[in-house]
Amino acid sequence: MATYFSYVPTPVLVIIDIHPKERGIPTKSYYAVEEVKENATQKSQKVFVHVPSEIVAREVEEIGVEHLLRDAKDTTISTLGTEVTGKLAALKVLDGRLTEIRSYPDLVIDGKLPLNHEILYHLQNVFNLLPNLNVS
């Protein structure tokens, strides 16, 4: 991994599955972080840590792809199918983020993460924006 750092100080590794077996984004993304050893005699090292990823495009790119798809005349490509696939991928990303948000209080209680008042402030705002479904 040391060769990466001679070119880029904070490398990002993206693995693309060219034969995906499940729906959604066929990528796994990682970024490099400094892993500090608790024992002062051991040297710290850089390791890759998994990070959720998404694939987005600018409007200009989307228009270009739409023009290419019109020229392809492939009947297997449907707008509805593309939209459903996109929504499924978005829901998977949302599920991952909600899981991460849900684990934060537990990690703080266990002492694995420090208490961050800004995060709690944003969580409180999210809860305040939720509708009250218990109204008679």
Q: What is the pLDDT of residues 32-48, one digit of tens each?
A: 888 777 776 677 778 88
Same domain (yes/no): 115, 104: yes
Q: Measuring CA to CA, how many Å separate 68 from each of 59, 65, 73, 82?
A: 14, 5, 9, 15
Residue that is written with structure tokens 């929504």 in the block: 87
Q: Kindly give the parts of the chain with pLDDT less than 70.
A: 1-2, 4, 40-41, 69-78, 136
The pLDDT, as a whole number, for residue 110 is: 93
The pLDDT, as a whole number, for residue 35 is: 79
Same domain (yes/no): 100, 120: yes
Is 134 a domain residue?
no
Expressed as residue numbers, the domain containing 111 is 77-129
The pLDDT, as a whole number, for residue 61 is: 81
Please spell the DSSP secondary structure of 58-95, one letter per residue: -HHHHHHHHHHHHHH--TT--HHHHHHHHHHHHHHHHH
Please spell the DSSP secondary structure of 8-34, one letter per residue: -SS-EEEEE-SS-SSSS--EEEEEEEE
Same domain (yes/no): 54, 88: no
Same domain (yes/no): 13, 59: yes
Same domain (yes/no): 11, 65: yes
Residues with Cβ within 8 Å of residue 1, at least 6 apart in sequence? 11, 32, 46, 48
Contact 1, 31 (CB under 8 A): no
The pLDDT, as a whole number, for residue 60 is: 81
Same domain (yes/no): 54, 66: yes
